[in-house]
Chain A
Amino acid sequence: MSEVLVEVKNLAKYFNLESDFFGRPTSVLKAVDDVSFSIHKGEAFGLVGESGCGKTTIGKMLVNLYTPTRGEIVFEGTDLTKLSEEKRRGFCKDIQLIFQDPYASLNPRMTVGDIIAEPIKINKLLPSNEIEKRVTYLLNCVGLANHQRNRYPHEFSGGQRQRVGIARALAVQPKLIVCDEPVSALDVSIQAQVLNLLDELKEEFGLTYLFIAHGLNVVKHISDRVGVMYLGKLVEIAPKKELYSNPLHPYTQALLSAIPFIGPTKSKQRIILTGDVPSPINPPEGCRFCSRCFKKTDACDGYIPELREVSPGHFVSCRLYDET
């Protein structure tokens, strides 16, 4: 396996919602709690989970939109969390973000050409006379025509806007792109176009992706390895094929079985989880999935499972696999 590009160690992000008179937090939302994983160069690492599991928060910490409460983000050997604000910003160019909502993430008052040129100017990557050529090149890369550069975002469809967002992320030649639900706002026929584009660009520019999504089929298509999150914790990490053919954590099993099968047969036995995801505010210690788990036993009460490697590359955090 190739070298590690970014390694996340015991990363946590807490939001203090309420404090008492002395400023001590009384109500803490643990969005991400003690998460560790690494992403190798040239790999697409998928992060799946339901709303509120903290997958987007991880993405935002990587691109410096949130400051971690605890933990390390080691990017090419440098721990980004220990850097001064100024030095940290120097790394922003290397880690770019593609947003979920192509309608909200483009400035409606800027032309598409200006939107793509802006990060190049901010980072002073090219002399001003070369920027135009670069923008043309980027537009081509994402399948847009050069004559569209003077148009405004509202003149584009959702899929085209997402292409503009991708071009903007590529503009600064990043090493890692955090794709936060890049296709979930798009129609099915357009989804395929954008997914294929992301795949092609990855090959062409040797990119590394952190691909955040809730659609397991989309994640399966694009990723090499997948991590499953539940309520701020990583519960399972495995190579794609392994995870989908041999899911170990009960949550992963339920998640996979909940996906509707597309086809004429309805034979699949579904595991229907009862209840909702509990609130991440002051979550219980121990296994967070306990309240909905269909394999829970008395021994699970109060047991704190750790993420353990049970077979090469396959990590799971569940008491069931700790006994061996």
Chain B
Amino acid sequence: MLLEVNHLKTEFQLKHGTVKAVDDISFSLNKGEILAIVGESGSGKSVTSLSVMGLVQEPGEVTGGEILFKGEDLLKKNKSEMQAIRGDQISMIFQEPMTSLNPVYRIKDQIMESIMTHMKLSKKEAWERAVHMLDIVGIPSPAERAKDYPHQMSGGMRQRVMTAMALSCRPELLIADEPTTALDVTIQAQILDLLYHMREKFNMAVLLITHDLGVVSEAADRVIVMYCGKIVEEADVRTLFEETMHPYTLGLLRSIPRLEDESEEPLYMIKGMVPNPLKMPTGCAFSDRCDKCMDRCRREMPELIERNGHKVRCFLYENEPEEAEKHE
């Protein structure tokens, strides 16, 4: 077990009330595993990743739970201890490769900075390592391109540079927050391929944050579906797509236009929209939009129940397993 998150809560204190962006979530990640967290905007998936990195900004605050990385609670670390871990054992790739690279420094300086900070190498060794990393992520003539500034590179190149930087200290955990969202499909395929190979090569674990179920099915081993700060479903990727349980996940899957779909029918729609985080419904957060909503759903929040490693937060699956199967 590399990462274990227990009962994590991250809240934002706003003028009008408290937003529970991450509301009591627990999950774990093994060495060499790719775990995807999917959800729409406001589901808390990005805040989860920022919480693990210790990068939650004011007015946000981690208010409870523990984040065990190799058995040690990251929430108990002070600033400098966290700094030593970030970029070294845990590193992160962000969605926007343009805004997360410093525009006034050359690529090589940015990669070498993190190498020299964490690995205590000389400038010459750091340079060699930086060029080597750029080579690994597939940048042609890396020694030349290393002297470029970020604006001289295309979006896909920048994302490769980000990846090279994140991998330069051989992290055991890589957090990739929407790594391909800003990229074109052909470049997305390249980057996903790269992540997959890097995982094989370095046996690192990846926490992949995305809204795209296509990316999930391409890259992930296991999937967590989040809705309004809570985990609503968790399963390995095959099970999730073959035996989808939660009505929200089902709705998401059905509302995506499919390439293989030849029918002219209108798309399935999840009605309504994500509730205002300040005015969460009592009971299940999805109840207002759910096709299978029962009276009970509006009164109580269902627990996350587990059956054969497949977790789901829905009353439909609480009692008899036989009945649950009928909803497939």
Interface-located stretch among A22-30, A171-179, A184-192: A184-192
Q: Determine if B259 and A189 form an interchain contact, defined as CB atoms under 8 angstroms apart.
A: no
Known contacts A264-B217, A264-B241, A264-B242, A217 near B256 by CB under 8 Å: yes
Q: A260 in the interface, Cβ–Cβ < 8 Å?
A: yes
Q: Min CB distance, A300 to chain B, in Å? A: 19
A259 B217 Cβ-Cβ under 8 A = no
The interface size of chain B toward A, counting residues with CB under 8 Å, comes to 47
Most buried by A among B156, B184, B237: B184
Inter-chain CA distance A92–B19, complex, in Å, is 45
Pick the contact of A262: B154, B185, B211, B258 (CB < 8 A): B258
- Chain B contacts for A201, CB-based, 8 A: none
The smallest beta-carbon distance between A148 and chain B, in angstroms, is 14
A308 within 8 Å of B by Cβ?
A: no
A244 and B259 contact, CB distance less than 8 A: yes
Asked if A196 contacts B269 (CB within 8 A), the reply is: yes
Contact B193 A272 (CB under 8 A): yes
Interface 9-residue window, one of A11-19, A81-89, A101-109, A250-258: A250-258
Q: Mark A71-90, 1 if CB is under 8 A from B, else 0.
A: 00000000000000000000
Given A254-B186, A258-B189, A187 and B214 contact (CB-CB distance below 8 Å) = no
Minimum distance in angstroms from B118 CB to a CB of chain A: 30
**Is A310's beta carbon under 8 Å from chain B?**
no
Q: Whole-angstrom distance from the CB of A188 to the nearest CB of chain B?
A: 6
| Stretch in contact with the other chain, from B83-91, B162-170, B260-268 | B260-268
When C-beta atoms are compared, the residue in chain A nearest to B140 turns out to be A275
Contacts of A221 in B (CB 8 A): 257, 261, 267
Q: How many angstroms between the C-alpha atoms of A214 and B185 in the bound complex?
A: 8
Within 8 A of A (CB), among B175-214: 184-190, 192-193, 211-214
Is A216 an interface position by the 8 A CB rule? yes
A320 interface residue (CB < 8 Å to B):
no
Query: Which residue of B has the minimal Cβ distance to A158?
Result: B41
Within 8 A of B (CB), among A38-53: 50-51
Q: When A50-B184, A199-B266 are in contact, do A266 and B252 touch as well, CB less than 8 Å? A: no
Q: How far is the CA of A188 from the CA of B260 in the complex (A)?
A: 18
Chain B residues with CB under 8 Å of A254's CB are 186
Per the bound structure, the CA–CA distance linking A254 and B239 in Å amounts to 29
| Contacting residues of chain A (161-176) with chain B, CB-CB under 8 angstroms | none
Q: Residue of B at shortest CB range from A251?
A: B186
Q: Which residues of chain B have C-beta atoms less than 8 A from A270's C-beta?
A: 189, 193
| Chain A positions within 8 Å of B274 at CB level | 157, 187
Among candidates B187, B238, B269, residue contacting A192 with C-beta atoms closer than 8 Å = B269
Contact, CB under 8 Å: A190 / B259: no
Q: B112 an interface residue at 8 Å Cβ cutoff?
A: no
Chain A: residues with CB nearer than 8 A to chain B? 50-51, 157, 159-160, 187-193, 195-196, 199-200, 214, 216-218, 220-221, 241, 244, 254-256, 258-264, 266, 270, 272-273, 275-277
7 contacts between A and B (CB under 8 A): A188-B255, A259-B214, A261-B214, A262-B241, A262-B253, A264-B217, A272-B186
